[in-house]
Structure 1
Amino acid sequence: MPTPIETVSAFCAAFVEDGGRPAVRRWFTPSTKWVNEGVGVTTGIDEAIGFIDGGETSMGMATVHIDMLAIAADGNRVLTERLDRFERADGSEIGRFKVMGIFELEGDKIVAWRDYFDVKAIESFAAG
């Protein structure tokens, strides 16, 4: 069984594929809560995929590169400091911003994911 840090690291590394959809399908549960503070909350795999689809439609986002800056665990909770980079299908960058996140795990599944970031940064590149 992987450690919580290994699970979150694998999830973040896999998020680059297809906008994160395969990672969500692999590591989320039907009741996983994903909170993007100030932006939205999803519950379960289908809502999370819908959120990703919305970013693709509204911003042209094809992929997210998650660069891990720092990671630490406290039992089944993993804290991350990241640089998330959003790109279009042609590889051009939409924007990037720093994120503090917390993941809660049960076994090798993510049951909660909360991200905290400057909402103004998202609004600025979402507006084009």
Structure 2
Amino acid sequence: MPTPIETVSDFCATFFEDGGRPAVRRWFTPNTRWVNEGLAVTKGVEEAIALIDGLGASMGIATVRIDILAIAADGSRVLTERLDRFERADGSEIGRAMVMGIFEIEGDKIIEWRDYFDVNAVQKFAAD
């Protein structure tokens, strides 16, 4: 069984594939909550994928590359400091955001993922 840090590291490392859809399908459960503080909350795989699809349609985001700058665990909770880079289908960058996130792990699944970031910065590059 992977450690919570290994689970989160693997999830983040593969999130760029197909906009994160395979990662969500692999590591989320039907009850996983994904909280983007100030923007959206989803529950389960299908709502998370609908959010990804919606961001693609509204902002042109094809994928997100997640660079973990720092990671630490407190039991089954994993805290990350990240640079998330939002990209178009052609690989050009739309924008980037510094993010603090917390993942709650059960077994090898993510049961909750909460991200905290400057919503204004994300809305600014979304408007460009």
Q: TM-score, normalised by structure 2?
A: 0.99
Query: Aligned partners of 2:102, 2:25: CA distance in 1, in Å?
Result: 19
The 5 Å alignment of 1:33-52 reads 33-52=33-52
Aligned residue for 1:8?
8
SS in 2 for 1:90: coil
Query: Aligned partners of 2:86, 2:80: CA distance in 1, in Å?
Result: 18
Question: Can you give the 5+ residue segments of structure 1 that lack an aligned partner in the other structure?
Answer: none
Following TM superposition, the consecutive aligned residue runs of length 4 or more in structure 1 with deviations greater than 2 angstroms are none
SS in 1 for 2:104: strand
SS in 2 for 1:89: coil
Q: Structure 1 residue 125 and structure 2 residue 114: aligned?
A: no
Count of equivalent residues: 128
The 5 Å alignment of 1:1-128 reads 1-128=1-128
Query: Aligned partners of 1:116, 1:49: CA distance in 2, in Å?
Result: 20
Post-superposition Cα deviations, 1:86-107, rounded to whole Å, max 9, x if no partner, equal 0000111000010000000110
Query: Aligned partners of 1:126, 1:57: CA distance in 2, in Å?
Result: 12
Post-superposition Cα deviations, 1:32-70, rounded to whole Å, max 9, x if no partner, equal 000000000000000000000011000111110000000
Post-superposition Cα deviations, 1:101-121, rounded to whole Å, max 9, x if no partner, equal 000011000000000000001
Question: Can you give the 5+ residue segments of structure 2 that lack an aligned partner in the other structure?
Answer: none
Q: Percent identity?
A: 77
